[in-house]
Structure 1
Amino acid sequence: MEALILRNYRDTDATAVSQLFREVYGDHYVQTDVYMPCLINQNHADKRWHSLVAVEGERILGHATLYRQSENSHDAELALSAVHPDTRGKNIATRLGGQLLTHAQALGCRSVSIKQVTHHPYTQRMAISLGFHNTGLLPDFVRSPFGCKKPESIVLGVHAIDGYQRPLPEQAWPTSCRPLMERLSAVFGVGAGAGRWRGASVQVQQHGNRHEMWLEKLNPELLDQLRSLPGHWLISIRLQLSRHFAVDLHSLNGIGFVFTGLAPAQDNRGGWLALFHRGYRTRRLTLHCPHMQQLHDQAQRHITRLAVPAT
């Protein structure tokens, strides 16, 4: 039996990598690009993907990528992980991830994030072993890559590259989220204020049947407009984390949004975005991280309270 080696991706690997994703995920993987070898090569040519593959002889048995929005981005995501079923249990995904974190530092990245599925515990365990710290939960975030009819909830993790910090604004955190926020403050540091904001102060995108919003700050007029949106809309908000967090939390809770942690701001802005959601299903999840479990349980209790008719 030939030894398994990890090496950089080559253009000639595109067809084999695409076939690997088909063998692992069938037709259900959420990133369309992996099904088209020409797009796999284009992403590498544009230096948005930096991939490693696990090879045994001529056979590609594993793949993982550092994804960046642009060549000059200081933030990356550890993503597009696939390991052939024949080789599971050999820690191939963890080995690929560990080497990619080393590459991230060489590429000048300041932090690396990871989206962990909740369908099974393996990605969550791997992220912890690689030194990621869980920061937030995205309920019903993406179409299931496992063929399930219901969407997949995602745990966000962040790994700070040595020598760089992403501080949280210093403040007294509300009781409902104090354990998580104090933990993240201890890990990522505490700073004077929010990160830099780029672009329009209100940005909206459609993500499946969910409306995603990026907000620089809340004010009474914007809060009224959020309150007036159709009640059946599924809405995710990413609000710049600031010293006004306690007020923002109270205001958004008051119009039906639940807090589910933090996500790192991208595009070299630094800082953090507070996650708020309205519209997700009742479900049970057993999560590896107690802080993420608490966020999930709080969100589920929020649904229960909304379902109880007023008396």
Structure 2
Amino acid sequence: MESLILRNYRESDAAAVSELFRQVYGDHYVQSDVYLPCLISQNHAKKRWHSLVAVEGERIRGHATLYRQSEASYDAELALSAVHPDTRGQNIATRLGEQLLTHAQALGCRSVSIKQVTHHTYTQRMAISLGFHNTGLLPDYVRSPFGCKKPESIVVGVRAIDGYQRPLPDQVWPASCRPLMERLTAVFGIGANAGRWRGASVQVEQHGDRHEMLLEKLDPELLNQLRSLPGHWLISIRLQLSRQFAVDLHSLNAIGFVFTGLAPAQDNQGGWLALFHRGFRPRRLALHCAYMQDLHAQTQRQFSVRDLSPV
């Protein structure tokens, strides 16, 4: 048996990497770029992707990427992990992740995030072993990469790169989320101010049936507009975390949104975004992290999609 080595991605690897994703995920992977070798090459040429591959002889058997929105970004995501079924059990994904986290430091990144699937616990256990701390839950976030009819819920993990912190605002946290928030302040520190905001104060995108909103702050007028949105809409809000969090939590709970943790703000903003969701399917999840399991239990107790039956 030929030994398996890890090495940097080469331009000539694009077609083999695309084929690896087809072998692992079939036609179900959520990032369409992996099905077009020209886009794989383009993302590397523009330095948005920094990939490592696991090679056995001439065959690529594993892949993972550091994804950055731009070459100048201080934040990266450990993503696009795929390991061929014939080589599982060798901790290939973990080994690729370890080397990419070292590479993130060399690139000048200040933090790395990871999106962990909930279809199984392997990715969640790997993230913990790599030093990530779970910060939030994204219910029904993407179509399942495993061919399931139910969309995949995602656990967000964050790891600060050595020497940097991403502090949370100093405040007394509401009782309903105090254990998680005190845990995150213990890990990431406490600061006086939110991060710098970039772009419009209200940004909206639609992904499938879900409306994603990025909000700098809440005010009474915006809150009234959110209240008036169609009741059947599935809405995800990412709201800049500030010292007004307790008021924001109460206001959004009152109009049908449930809090599901935090995600790091991107594009060199620093700081955090508070996650709120309205509308998702009732389901059972067995999560590796007790904090995330509690968040999931809260969503199931409080809100569900009224006009969607489980599929």
**By the TM > 0.5 criterion, same fold?**
yes
TM-score by length of 1: 0.97
In the TM superposition, 1:150-165 aligns within 5 A as: 150-165=150-165
User: What is the deviation of 1:306?
Assistant: 8.0
TM-score by length of 2: 0.97
Partner of 2:282: 282
Partner of 2:53: 53
User: What is the deviation of 1:81?
Assistant: 0.1
| Matched residue SS, 1:144 | coil
2-structure distance, mates of 1:305, 1:100: 39
1-structure distance, mates of 2:39, 2:281: 34
- Segments of 5+ residues of structure 1 without an aligned counterpart are none
| Matched residue SS, 2:223 | helix
1-structure distance, mates of 2:110, 2:206: 29
Give a deviation string over 1:177-230, Cα, whole Å, max 9, x none.
Answer: 000000000000000011100111101011111100011000111000000000
User: What is the deviation of 1:166?
Assistant: 0.3
Residue-pair matches, total: 307
Partner of 2:257: 257
**Hey, which bits of structure 1, 4+ residues long, moved more than 6 A?**
304-307
Assess if the C-alpha contact under 8 Å between 2:137 and 2:295 holds in 1: yes
Answering whether residue 20 of structure 2 is matched by residue 15 of structure 1, we say no
- Segments of 5+ residues of structure 2 without an aligned counterpart are none
Q: CA RMSD in A?
A: 1.1
Answering whether residue 174 of structure 2 is matched by residue 188 of structure 1, we say no
User: What is the deviation of 1:303?
Assistant: 2.3
Answering whether residue 205 of structure 2 is matched by residue 205 of structure 1, we say yes
- CA distance change for structure 1 residues 174 and 6 in 2, over 3 Å: closer, same or farther? same
| Matched residue SS, 2:303 | helix
2-structure distance, mates of 1:249, 1:33: 36
Answering whether residue 271 of structure 2 is matched by residue 266 of structure 1, we say no
Partner of 1:170: 170
| Matched residue SS, 1:64 | strand
1-structure distance, mates of 2:37, 2:235: 34
| Matched residue SS, 1:61 | strand
Partner of 1:223: 223
In the TM superposition, 1:49-198 aligns within 5 A as: 49-198=49-198
Give a deviation string over 1:246-289, Cα, whole Å, max 9, x none.
Answer: 00000000000000000000000000000000010000001000
User: What is the deviation of 1:40?
Assistant: 0.4
2-structure distance, mates of 1:15, 1:143: 24
User: What is the deviation of 1:304?
Assistant: 6.6
- Counting aligned pairs with the same residue, the percent is 85
**1:231 corresponds to which letter in structure 2?**
G
| Matched residue SS, 1:42 | helix
